[in-house]
Amino acid sequence: MAATNTISSVPPQGYTNHAGHVLAGTLVSADARHVTLRLPGGATRSLPLSIFPPSERERIGIESGTLAPPPAVAEAFERCRLALQRLDVLVKVGQQSEESADERRDLERRAVRAIIADLEKEQRLSPAAAAYFTDRVP
């Protein structure tokens, strides 16, 4: 199931499509394929994300909280999530101290943040996307 987020109380903004036309509206919701805007007149309009250039799709994804991570980030998130779960189990069964687990959790999260920073440095992630994903490290 694709992630969808609904936005409220956001002022109208301009969204530029591939043809260079600016669509003014307030972001209502977005998912992996569509965006719904509330137009200045109050009507809502659902549009395919494909009509927007990559930079606008990224902005819409960030604003709606639905920006999908690139494969390297998704893999790092999953590895981190699994490592954190493993640490929780080790603490619960008494095989690792909470203090030691906290240090390891911090290392796991720093490793993910380093991957994101490297992707940004290589210009494979924009600064906005890097900040977005850094805020979502498990």
Cα distances (angstroms) measured from residue 78 to each of 49, 71, 83:
26, 10, 9
On whether both 78 and 52 belong to a single domain, the answer is: no
Number of domains in the chain: 2
On whether both 31 and 81 belong to a single domain, the answer is: no
On whether both 84 and 31 belong to a single domain, the answer is: no
Pick 5 or 74 by higher pLDDT. Answer: 74
Range of the domain at 129: 71-134
Q: Which of 32, 64, 96 is the last residue of a domain?
A: 64
Separation between Cα atoms, residue 125 and residue 71, nearest integer Å:
12
pTM greater than the 0.85 cutoff: no
pLDDT digits 0-9 by tens, 40-99: 989 999 999 999 999 999 999 999 999 999 999 999 999 999 999 999 999 999 999 999
On whether both 32 and 49 belong to a single domain, the answer is: yes
pLDDT digits 0-9 by tens, 97-112: 999 999 999 999 999 9
On whether both 60 and 83 belong to a single domain, the answer is: no
